[in-house]
């Protein structure tokens, strides 16, 4: 049975107020007030908690874009566009989570958890297990589809992530996570709220180096029309079939052979099959070619008033000379020798609206490779971060 979720938001004008403020009440579908609802601007440190009578008030500085999230355990998380609720009085109705799950063809099992937990941590959190960890990691549930080689992970509880390097505790509401082992693509979405836990000089240095040259930095440069000034070099890239990658017919032959020997003890792999398998594992389906260097941002950015749109039919290579920040006495200075970062963005013709803080709409639709893909949770900063914070 398909589960239908109803989430309601009632808006009333907030007359006589010129401050950027959102206020209102959170109730359930029986009109009972809900206390201790975490209400936050997604990806930032801006939040408030609903009181015993369900009321809340959230003061904003200059933020006019982003997503406002209402989150409480055992209730469906509700998200709305900030621009639609600024200076409004809200009545938000949260619906209880249906705890009775449907029977799944691909079950979530403890075995899948044990087999793939480290792969998940590598692709979601990053490599630093000592300083970045999920405090309630065992709440995660794993399912692996052997036929299609797809891993799915869900989090019934909000993940509490401790990042000692950047001095944050992140409450991360994981909406979806999937890893396709055939295409080697990982995709995850969620909402996040940051709490600052430490702000030493070492932490500040780590934050500065995490920001410099990151995807967040790049999109802020796009919004501010400072891509070239900030040091980013953008090239046009086209992809074409890699002649070394197996053909569709060869992939079909490999699949048929795998099915044939699935229950066989004979593991003697013919040389032609071995060659197809080797090329499938070592080669990419497409090769890349740079066709135009140092393209102007007008080729991939459209501006209309305060609206900034990012779109491109092909692929973009984004290079950045990163000079790591260092401590010299009481000052933070840049090193003299850069490391060249290189990333690839696949807009695939999609259009993304870029906000002032460096966020984009539907970020899960933008595929990125190279150094940008290393910007996992261990390097994630709040959207309201400013260099030097």
Asked if residue 134 and residue 53 are part of one domain, the reply reads: no
Distance between CA atoms of residues 144 and 179, nearest Å: 9
- Of 259, 283, 307, which residue is a domain's last? 283
Range 214-232 burial, b when 16+ CB lie within 10 A, else e: bbbbbbbbbbeeebeeebb
Measured distance between the N- and C-terminal CA atoms of the chain, rounded to whole angstroms: 49
Domain-located, residue 150: yes
Asked if residue 180 and residue 146 are part of one domain, the reply reads: yes
- Of 94, 125, 153, which residue is a domain's last? 94
pLDDT reported for residue 63: 67
Asked if residue 292 and residue 261 are part of one domain, the reply reads: no
pLDDT reported for residue 282: 87
Domain-located, residue 2: no
Asked if residue 337 and residue 358 are part of one domain, the reply reads: yes
Q: For 46-105, list the strands marked E by DSSP.
A: 47-49, 55-59, 67-71, 78-81, 88-94
Count of domains observed in the chain: 4
Distance between CA atoms of residues 72 and 36, nearest Å: 7
pLDDT reported for residue 267: 67
Asked if residue 250 and residue 238 are part of one domain, the reply reads: no
Contact in structure between 154 and 139 (CB atoms under 8 Å): no
Asked if residue 221 and residue 164 are part of one domain, the reply reads: no
Asked if residue 115 and residue 56 are part of one domain, the reply reads: no
CA contacts within 13 A on the Cβ side of 261: 12
Domain-located, residue 3: no
Domain-located, residue 137: yes
Domain-located, residue 1: no
Asked if residue 215 and residue 186 are part of one domain, the reply reads: no
Domain-located, residue 278: yes
pLDDT reported for residue 107: 87
Contact in structure between 142 and 109 (CB atoms under 8 Å): yes
Asked if residue 114 and residue 214 are part of one domain, the reply reads: no
The whole-model pTM stands at 0.81
Asked if residue 175 and residue 29 are part of one domain, the reply reads: no
Asked if residue 326 and residue 276 are part of one domain, the reply reads: no
Q: Interior CA angle at 159 toward 174 and 38, to 5°? A: 90
Q: Which of 321, 355, 353 has the alpha carbon at shortest distance from 336?
A: 321
Range 67-78 burial, b when 16+ CB lie within 10 A, else e: bbbbbbeebbbb
Q: What is the pLDDT along the chain (389 residues), one digit of tens a residue?
A: 333 334 445 544 444 444 578 899 999 988 999 999 999 999 999 999 999 999 999 888 766 678 899 999 888 889 988 888 888 889 999 998 865 454 467 888 999 999 999 999 999 999 999 999 999 999 999 999 988 899 999 998 899 999 999 999 999 999 899 999 987 888 899 999 999 999 999 999 999 999 999 999 999 999 999 999 999 999 999 888 888 999 999 988 888 888 777 766 666 788 888 898 889 888 888 888 899 999 999 999 999 988 999 999 889 999 999 999 999 888 899 999 999 999 999 888 899 999 999 999 888 889 888 999 888 899 999 999 998 88
Quote the domain boundaries for residue 35.
8-94
- The contacts of residue 211 (CB under 8 Å, 6+ apart) are 217, 381, 385, 387
Q: Interior CA angle at 25 toward 23 and 30, to 5°? A: 165
pLDDT reported for residue 285: 85
Q: In degrees rounded to 5, what are phi and psi of residue 305? A: 65, -125
Asked if residue 193 and residue 211 are part of one domain, the reply reads: no
Q: Interior CA angle at 383 toward 378 and 387, to 5°? A: 80
Strand partners, 194: 170
CATH of the domain at 64: 2.60.40.1120
- The contacts of residue 155 (CB under 8 Å, 6+ apart) are 139, 140, 141, 172, 173, 174
- Of 283, 309, 340, which residue is a domain's last? 283
Domain-located, residue 209: yes
Domain-located, residue 66: yes
């Amino acid at each position: 049975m398909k589960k239908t979720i109803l989430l309601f938001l009632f808006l009333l004008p907030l007359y006589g107020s010129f401050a950027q403020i959102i206020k209102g009440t959170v109730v359930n579908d029986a009109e009972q007030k809900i206390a201790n609802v975490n209400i936050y601007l997604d990806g930032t440190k801006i939040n408030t908690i609903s009181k015993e009578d369900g009321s809340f008030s959230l003061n904003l500085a200059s933020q006019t874009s982003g997503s406002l999230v209402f989150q409480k355990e055992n209730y469906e998380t509700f998200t709305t566009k900030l621009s639609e609720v600024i200076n409004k009085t809200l009545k938000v109705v949260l619906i209880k989570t249906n705890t009775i799950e449907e029977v799944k063809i691909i079950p979530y099992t403890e075995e899948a958890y044990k087999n793939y937990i480290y792969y998940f941590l590598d692709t979601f959190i990053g490599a630093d297990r000592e300083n970045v960890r999920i405090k309630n990691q065992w709440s995660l549930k794993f399912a692996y589809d052997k036929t299609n080689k797809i891993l799915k992970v869900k989090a019934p509880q909000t993940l509490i992530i401790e990042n000692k390097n950047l001095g944050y505790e992140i409450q991360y509401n994981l909406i979806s996570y999937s890893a396709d082992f055939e295409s080697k693509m990982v995709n995850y979405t969620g909402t996040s709220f940051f709490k600052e836990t430490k702000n030493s000089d070492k932490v500040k240095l780590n934050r500065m180096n995490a920001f410099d040259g990151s995807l967040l930095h790049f999109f802020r440069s796009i919004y501010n029309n400072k891509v070239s000034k900030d040091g980013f070099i953008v090239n046009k890239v086209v992809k074409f079939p890699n002649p070394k990658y197996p053909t569709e017919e060869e992939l079909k032959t490999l699949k048929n052979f795998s099915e044939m020997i699935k229950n066989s003890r004979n593991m003697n792999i013919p040389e032609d099959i071995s060659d197809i398998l080797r090329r499938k594992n070592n080669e990419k389906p497409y090769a890349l070619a740079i066709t135009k260097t140092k393209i102007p941002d007008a080729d991939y950015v459209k501006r209309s008033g305060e609206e900034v749109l990012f779109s491109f039919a092909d692929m973009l290579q984004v290079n950045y000379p990163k000079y790591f920040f260092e401590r010299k006495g009481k000052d933070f200075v840049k090193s003299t020798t850069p490391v060249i970062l290189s990333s690839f963005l696949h807009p695939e013709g999609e259009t993304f609206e870029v906000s002032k803080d460096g966020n984009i709409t539907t970020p899960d639709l933008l595929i990125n490779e190279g150094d940008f893909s290393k910007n996992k949770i261990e390097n994630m900063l709040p959207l309201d971060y400013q260099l030097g914070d």
